[in-house]
Homo-oligomer: A and B are copies of this chain.
Amino acid sequence: MSKSKAIRILGMGKYLPERVSSSALEIKYGIPHGWSVGHSGVETRHQIDKESCGFMGARAAEKAIENANITLADIDLLISASASFDYPLPNQATMIKNEIENSDNYSFPAITIDSTCLSFVAAFDFAARMLDGAQYKTILVVTSEISSKGINTDNWETTTLFGDAAVAAVLTFEPNSHSRFIKGAFQTFSEGLYDTIIEGGGIVNPPKEKPYDPILHSFKMNGKNLLRMAIEKIPEFLNDFFSDLPITIEEVDAIIPHQASKSGLMIFKKLYRFKEGQVLETLSKYGNCIAASIPLTLLDGIECGQIKRGDTCLLSGTSAGFSIGGILIKY
Protein backbone atom coordinates (compact mmCIF):
# COMPACT_ATOMS: atom_id res chain seq x y z
CA MET A 1 0.00 0.00 0.00
CA SER A 2 1.24 3.46 -0.86
CA LYS A 3 1.84 5.80 2.08
CA SER A 4 -0.99 8.21 2.78
CA LYS A 5 -0.19 11.92 2.66
CA ALA A 6 -1.48 14.86 4.72
CA ILE A 7 -3.49 16.53 1.97
CA ARG A 8 -6.53 18.57 2.99
CA ILE A 9 -9.40 20.06 1.02
CA LEU A 10 -9.26 23.49 2.61
CA GLY A 11 -12.29 24.87 0.78
CA MET A 12 -14.59 24.36 -2.18
CA GLY A 13 -16.89 26.51 -4.29
CA LYS A 14 -19.27 26.09 -7.19
CA TYR A 15 -21.00 28.08 -9.91
CA LEU A 16 -24.21 26.89 -11.48
CA PRO A 17 -25.83 28.68 -14.42
CA GLU A 18 -29.61 28.85 -14.75
CA ARG A 19 -31.67 25.79 -13.80
CA VAL A 20 -33.62 24.16 -16.64
CA SER A 21 -36.39 21.68 -15.91
CA SER A 22 -36.86 18.55 -17.96
CA SER A 23 -40.34 19.61 -18.99
CA ALA A 24 -38.97 22.89 -20.37
CA LEU A 25 -36.37 20.95 -22.40
CA GLU A 26 -39.00 18.46 -23.56
CA ILE A 27 -41.25 21.26 -24.83
CA LYS A 28 -38.32 23.06 -26.51
CA TYR A 29 -37.09 20.00 -28.44
CA GLY A 30 -40.34 18.12 -29.05
CA ILE A 31 -39.51 15.30 -26.65
CA PRO A 32 -42.50 13.48 -25.11
CA HIS A 33 -43.41 14.73 -21.63
CA GLY A 34 -41.72 12.64 -18.93
CA TRP A 35 -39.16 11.09 -21.28
CA SER A 36 -36.18 12.66 -19.49
CA VAL A 37 -36.98 11.42 -15.99
CA GLY A 38 -37.91 8.01 -17.36
CA HIS A 39 -34.86 7.51 -19.57
CA SER A 40 -32.06 9.71 -18.21
CA GLY A 41 -33.26 10.02 -14.63
CA VAL A 42 -32.64 13.76 -14.84
CA GLU A 43 -35.32 16.13 -13.45
CA THR A 44 -33.38 19.40 -13.63
CA ARG A 45 -29.95 20.47 -14.85
CA HIS A 46 -28.27 23.85 -15.26
CA GLN A 47 -27.42 25.33 -18.65
CA ILE A 48 -25.53 28.44 -19.62
CA ASP A 49 -26.98 31.49 -21.22
CA LYS A 50 -23.84 33.43 -22.18
CA GLU A 51 -21.31 32.13 -19.64
CA SER A 52 -17.98 30.68 -20.73
CA CYS A 53 -16.07 27.85 -19.04
CA GLY A 54 -13.55 30.46 -17.92
CA PHE A 55 -16.21 32.67 -16.36
CA MET A 56 -17.90 29.81 -14.50
CA GLY A 57 -14.58 28.33 -13.37
CA ALA A 58 -13.39 31.70 -12.08
CA ARG A 59 -16.57 32.25 -10.03
CA ALA A 60 -16.23 28.74 -8.51
CA ALA A 61 -12.53 29.42 -7.82
CA GLU A 62 -13.25 32.72 -6.07
CA LYS A 63 -15.81 30.99 -3.83
CA ALA A 64 -13.40 28.14 -3.03
CA ILE A 65 -10.68 30.65 -2.09
CA GLU A 66 -13.14 32.49 0.15
CA ASN A 67 -14.38 29.24 1.66
CA ALA A 68 -10.78 28.18 2.35
CA ASN A 69 -10.15 31.54 4.00
CA ILE A 70 -7.05 32.21 1.93
CA THR A 71 -6.18 34.77 -0.75
CA LEU A 72 -4.86 34.56 -4.31
CA ALA A 73 -1.37 35.21 -2.90
CA ASP A 74 -1.48 31.74 -1.30
CA ILE A 75 -2.04 29.87 -4.57
CA ASP A 76 1.06 28.11 -5.93
CA LEU A 77 -0.58 26.45 -8.94
CA LEU A 78 -3.94 26.48 -10.71
CA ILE A 79 -4.94 23.26 -12.45
CA SER A 80 -7.85 23.34 -14.88
CA ALA A 81 -9.35 19.86 -14.84
CA SER A 82 -12.04 19.74 -17.51
CA ALA A 83 -12.93 18.22 -20.85
CA SER A 84 -14.56 21.32 -22.34
CA PHE A 85 -12.67 24.45 -23.32
CA ASP A 86 -13.37 28.01 -24.40
CA TYR A 87 -10.66 28.22 -27.07
CA PRO A 88 -8.58 25.49 -28.73
CA LEU A 89 -5.54 27.55 -27.67
CA PRO A 90 -4.21 28.66 -25.17
CA ASN A 91 -4.91 26.11 -22.47
CA GLN A 92 -8.14 26.42 -20.46
CA ALA A 93 -6.28 26.98 -17.18
CA THR A 94 -5.04 30.33 -18.49
CA MET A 95 -8.58 31.32 -19.45
CA ILE A 96 -9.83 30.51 -15.94
CA LYS A 97 -6.94 32.38 -14.34
CA ASN A 98 -7.58 35.39 -16.55
CA GLU A 99 -11.24 35.51 -15.46
CA ILE A 100 -10.46 35.39 -11.73
CA GLU A 101 -10.78 38.87 -10.29
CA ASN A 102 -7.46 40.55 -9.56
CA SER A 103 -5.46 37.61 -10.97
CA ASP A 104 -3.27 39.92 -13.07
CA ASN A 105 -1.34 40.70 -9.90
CA TYR A 106 -0.28 37.08 -9.45
CA SER A 107 1.99 34.93 -11.58
CA PHE A 108 1.15 31.44 -10.28
CA PRO A 109 1.22 28.92 -13.14
CA ALA A 110 -1.99 27.74 -14.81
CA ILE A 111 -1.79 24.25 -16.28
CA THR A 112 -4.49 22.00 -17.76
CA ILE A 113 -5.06 18.32 -17.01
CA ASP A 114 -7.57 16.47 -19.17
CA SER A 115 -8.81 13.01 -18.43
CA THR A 116 -12.36 13.82 -19.70
CA CYS A 117 -14.92 12.93 -16.99
CA LEU A 118 -12.15 11.92 -14.58
CA SER A 119 -10.25 15.20 -14.94
CA PHE A 120 -11.01 16.43 -11.41
CA VAL A 121 -10.07 13.09 -9.87
CA ALA A 122 -6.84 12.88 -11.92
CA ALA A 123 -5.94 16.49 -11.10
CA PHE A 124 -6.55 15.83 -7.39
CA ASP A 125 -4.25 12.81 -7.62
CA PHE A 126 -1.50 14.76 -9.45
CA ALA A 127 -1.86 17.71 -7.07
CA ALA A 128 -1.65 15.47 -4.00
CA ARG A 129 1.64 14.09 -5.29
CA MET A 130 3.01 17.53 -6.16
CA LEU A 131 2.09 19.21 -2.88
CA ASP A 132 5.28 19.18 -0.84
CA GLY A 133 4.81 21.98 1.67
CA ALA A 134 7.70 23.84 0.05
CA GLN A 135 7.38 24.86 -3.62
CA TYR A 136 3.76 23.70 -3.66
CA LYS A 137 1.82 24.39 -0.45
CA THR A 138 -1.56 25.20 -2.01
CA ILE A 139 -3.04 24.07 -5.33
CA LEU A 140 -6.33 25.28 -6.76
CA VAL A 141 -8.12 22.68 -8.91
CA VAL A 142 -10.92 24.06 -11.08
CA THR A 143 -13.36 22.01 -13.15
CA SER A 144 -15.70 23.93 -15.40
CA GLU A 145 -17.82 22.08 -17.92
CA ILE A 146 -20.24 23.30 -20.57
CA SER A 147 -21.85 20.46 -22.46
CA SER A 148 -24.88 22.34 -23.77
CA LYS A 149 -22.93 23.83 -26.72
CA GLY A 150 -21.74 20.47 -28.03
CA ILE A 151 -24.92 18.45 -28.04
CA ASN A 152 -26.96 17.32 -31.00
CA THR A 153 -30.47 18.24 -29.88
CA ASP A 154 -31.95 15.58 -32.17
CA ASN A 155 -30.41 13.07 -29.78
CA TRP A 156 -32.84 12.91 -26.85
CA GLU A 157 -30.53 10.86 -24.66
CA THR A 158 -27.64 13.35 -24.61
CA THR A 159 -29.94 16.39 -24.74
CA THR A 160 -31.67 15.41 -21.49
CA LEU A 161 -28.69 13.78 -19.73
CA PHE A 162 -26.06 16.53 -19.57
CA GLY A 163 -25.73 19.68 -17.48
CA ASP A 164 -23.30 22.59 -17.10
CA ALA A 165 -21.45 23.34 -13.85
CA ALA A 166 -18.18 24.53 -12.37
CA VAL A 167 -16.57 23.44 -9.10
CA ALA A 168 -13.24 24.37 -7.51
CA ALA A 169 -11.25 22.96 -4.62
CA VAL A 170 -8.31 24.39 -2.68
CA LEU A 171 -5.91 21.59 -1.75
CA THR A 172 -3.12 22.01 0.77
CA PHE A 173 -0.33 19.99 2.31
CA GLU A 174 -0.84 20.21 6.08
CA PRO A 175 1.51 17.96 8.04
CA ASN A 176 -0.57 18.28 11.23
CA SER A 177 -3.92 17.67 9.58
CA HIS A 178 -5.99 14.52 10.01
CA SER A 179 -7.09 14.84 6.40
CA ARG A 180 -5.41 12.39 4.08
CA PHE A 181 -4.82 11.47 0.45
CA ILE A 182 -4.80 7.71 0.87
CA LYS A 183 -4.57 6.33 -2.64
CA GLY A 184 -5.19 7.07 -6.31
CA ALA A 185 -5.17 4.83 -9.38
CA PHE A 186 -6.22 5.01 -13.02
CA GLN A 187 -6.52 2.73 -16.05
CA THR A 188 -7.13 3.47 -19.73
CA PHE A 189 -8.56 0.96 -22.18
CA SER A 190 -8.14 2.85 -25.40
CA GLU A 191 -10.10 0.32 -27.47
CA GLY A 192 -13.08 2.33 -26.16
CA LEU A 193 -11.79 5.53 -27.81
CA TYR A 194 -14.51 5.71 -30.45
CA ASP A 195 -17.36 4.90 -28.05
CA THR A 196 -17.39 8.43 -26.58
CA ILE A 197 -16.22 11.09 -28.97
CA ILE A 198 -16.66 14.49 -30.57
CA GLU A 199 -15.22 13.83 -34.02
CA GLY A 200 -15.16 17.29 -35.56
CA GLY A 201 -13.03 20.27 -34.67
CA GLY A 202 -9.51 18.93 -34.23
CA ILE A 203 -6.69 17.82 -36.52
CA VAL A 204 -8.57 14.82 -37.97
CA ASN A 205 -11.63 16.85 -39.04
CA PRO A 206 -10.36 20.43 -39.00
CA PRO A 207 -12.73 23.44 -39.26
CA LYS A 208 -11.14 24.42 -42.58
CA GLU A 209 -12.07 21.12 -44.24
CA LYS A 210 -15.20 20.00 -42.40
CA PRO A 211 -18.08 22.48 -42.13
CA TYR A 212 -20.47 22.14 -39.21
CA ASP A 213 -22.44 18.94 -39.15
CA PRO A 214 -24.68 18.14 -36.15
CA ILE A 215 -23.44 14.54 -36.05
CA LEU A 216 -19.74 15.20 -36.64
CA HIS A 217 -19.48 18.14 -34.24
CA SER A 218 -21.61 16.78 -31.40
CA PHE A 219 -20.95 14.49 -28.52
CA LYS A 220 -21.62 10.87 -29.46
CA MET A 221 -21.70 7.86 -27.21
CA ASN A 222 -22.22 4.19 -27.69
CA GLY A 223 -24.02 3.60 -24.40
CA LYS A 224 -24.26 -0.17 -24.86
CA ASN A 225 -20.52 -0.66 -25.36
CA LEU A 226 -19.74 1.67 -22.49
CA LEU A 227 -22.03 -0.20 -20.09
CA ARG A 228 -20.54 -3.53 -21.21
CA MET A 229 -17.00 -2.27 -20.57
CA ALA A 230 -18.00 -0.71 -17.24
CA ILE A 231 -19.61 -3.95 -16.02
CA GLU A 232 -16.51 -5.91 -17.04
CA LYS A 233 -13.79 -3.53 -15.84
CA ILE A 234 -15.12 -1.69 -12.75
CA PRO A 235 -15.23 -4.66 -10.35
CA GLU A 236 -11.69 -5.70 -11.37
CA PHE A 237 -10.44 -2.15 -10.90
CA LEU A 238 -12.05 -1.71 -7.48
CA ASN A 239 -11.00 -5.14 -6.23
CA ASP A 240 -7.45 -4.29 -7.19
CA PHE A 241 -7.74 -0.78 -5.71
CA PHE A 242 -8.77 -2.06 -2.28
CA SER A 243 -6.54 -5.16 -2.30
CA ASP A 244 -3.72 -3.41 -0.39
CA LEU A 245 -5.89 -1.17 1.79
CA PRO A 246 -6.97 -1.91 5.38
CA ILE A 247 -10.64 -1.21 4.53
CA THR A 248 -13.12 -2.56 2.01
CA ILE A 249 -15.19 -0.43 -0.36
CA GLU A 250 -18.27 -1.21 1.76
CA GLU A 251 -16.56 0.37 4.78
CA VAL A 252 -15.88 3.68 3.01
CA ASP A 253 -18.06 6.43 4.54
CA ALA A 254 -19.06 8.15 1.30
CA ILE A 255 -18.92 6.77 -2.22
CA ILE A 256 -18.95 9.56 -4.79
CA PRO A 257 -19.32 8.03 -8.23
CA HIS A 258 -19.32 9.91 -11.54
CA GLN A 259 -22.97 10.67 -12.31
CA ALA A 260 -22.62 9.15 -15.78
CA SER A 261 -26.13 7.78 -16.27
CA LYS A 262 -29.09 6.31 -14.42
CA SER A 263 -28.34 2.76 -15.53
CA GLY A 264 -24.62 3.18 -14.78
CA LEU A 265 -25.37 4.26 -11.21
CA MET A 266 -27.90 1.44 -10.75
CA ILE A 267 -25.50 -1.23 -11.94
CA PHE A 268 -22.67 0.16 -9.79
CA LYS A 269 -24.79 0.14 -6.64
CA LYS A 270 -25.76 -3.50 -7.21
CA LEU A 271 -22.11 -4.60 -7.25
CA TYR A 272 -21.73 -4.16 -3.49
CA ARG A 273 -23.83 -4.16 -0.32
CA PHE A 274 -23.87 -0.44 0.28
CA LYS A 275 -25.89 1.13 3.06
CA GLU A 276 -28.78 3.48 2.25
CA GLY A 277 -27.31 6.88 1.38
CA GLN A 278 -23.70 5.63 1.30
CA VAL A 279 -23.53 6.24 -2.45
CA LEU A 280 -24.12 9.93 -3.16
CA GLU A 281 -26.31 10.80 -6.13
CA THR A 282 -26.96 14.16 -7.76
CA LEU A 283 -27.85 12.99 -11.29
CA SER A 284 -31.53 13.87 -10.97
CA LYS A 285 -30.87 17.50 -10.07
CA TYR A 286 -27.67 18.32 -11.98
CA GLY A 287 -27.51 15.74 -14.79
CA ASN A 288 -24.14 14.42 -15.98
CA CYS A 289 -21.80 17.43 -15.69
CA ILE A 290 -18.78 15.70 -17.27
CA ALA A 291 -15.77 16.15 -14.92
CA ALA A 292 -17.73 18.50 -12.67
CA SER A 293 -20.12 15.75 -11.53
CA ILE A 294 -17.78 14.16 -8.98
CA PRO A 295 -16.65 17.36 -7.20
CA LEU A 296 -20.21 18.76 -7.37
CA THR A 297 -21.52 15.62 -5.65
CA LEU A 298 -18.71 15.80 -3.09
CA LEU A 299 -19.50 19.45 -2.36
CA ASP A 300 -23.21 18.67 -2.09
CA GLY A 301 -22.43 15.97 0.47
CA ILE A 302 -20.29 18.41 2.47
CA GLU A 303 -22.84 21.23 2.28
CA CYS A 304 -25.75 19.08 3.41
CA GLY A 305 -23.69 17.65 6.28
CA GLN A 306 -23.62 14.11 4.93
CA ILE A 307 -19.80 14.23 4.62
CA LYS A 308 -17.96 15.33 7.78
CA ARG A 309 -14.29 15.96 8.53
CA GLY A 310 -12.57 12.63 9.05
CA ASP A 311 -14.91 10.70 6.75
CA THR A 312 -13.33 8.46 4.12
CA CYS A 313 -14.52 9.32 0.61
CA LEU A 314 -14.03 7.37 -2.60
CA LEU A 315 -14.19 9.58 -5.70
CA SER A 316 -14.38 7.22 -8.63
CA GLY A 317 -15.80 6.78 -12.07
CA THR A 318 -15.30 6.06 -15.72
CA SER A 319 -14.50 8.49 -18.49
CA ALA A 320 -14.32 8.71 -22.25
CA GLY A 321 -11.24 6.84 -23.35
CA PHE A 322 -12.38 4.36 -21.96
CA SER A 323 -10.80 5.07 -18.56
CA ILE A 324 -11.50 4.09 -14.96
CA GLY A 325 -10.02 5.83 -11.96
CA GLY A 326 -10.43 6.75 -8.37
CA ILE A 327 -8.95 8.37 -5.32
CA LEU A 328 -9.56 7.52 -1.68
CA ILE A 329 -9.28 10.44 0.73
CA LYS A 330 -10.02 11.22 4.34
CA TYR A 331 -11.90 14.54 4.21
| A87 touching B202, Cβ below 8 Å | yes
| Copies of this chain held together in the complex | 2
Chain B: minimal CB distance from A228 (Å) = 16
| A90 touching B321, Cβ below 8 Å | yes
Chain B: minimal CB distance from A241 (Å) = 12
| A204 touching B90, Cβ below 8 Å | no
| B196 touching A90, Cβ below 8 Å | yes
Chain B: minimal CB distance from A200 (Å) = 6
| B203 touching A86, Cβ below 8 Å | yes
A139 to B77, CA, bound (A): 22
| Residues from chain B with Cβ under 8 Å of A104 in the complex | 189-191
For residue A236, which residue of chain B has the nearest CB? Answer: B107
| A110-B190 contact, Cβ under 8 Å, with A149-B206, A201-B207, A202-B87 | yes
| A206-B114 contact, Cβ under 8 Å, with A87-B197, A198-B88 | no
Q: Quick one: which of A83, A193, A203 has the most chain B CB within 10 A?
A: A203
Interface size class of A (residues with CB under 8 A): 35 or more
| B98 touching A191, Cβ below 8 Å | yes
| A89 touching B219, Cβ below 8 Å | yes
A97 to B321, CA, bound (A): 10
**A235 at interface by CB-CB < 8 Å:** no
A198 to B97, CA, bound (A): 18
Interface residues of A (CB under 8 A from B): 2, 52-53, 77-78, 83-95, 97-98, 103-104, 107-116, 122, 126, 129-130, 132, 134-135, 146, 149-150, 185-191, 193, 196-208, 211-212, 214, 217, 219, 319-321, 323, 325
Could you pull out 12 A-B pairs where Cβ atoms are within 8 angstroms? A2-B132, A53-B203, A87-B198, A88-B198, A88-B201, A90-B321, A95-B190, A97-B190, A108-B187, A126-B126, A207-B207, A208-B214
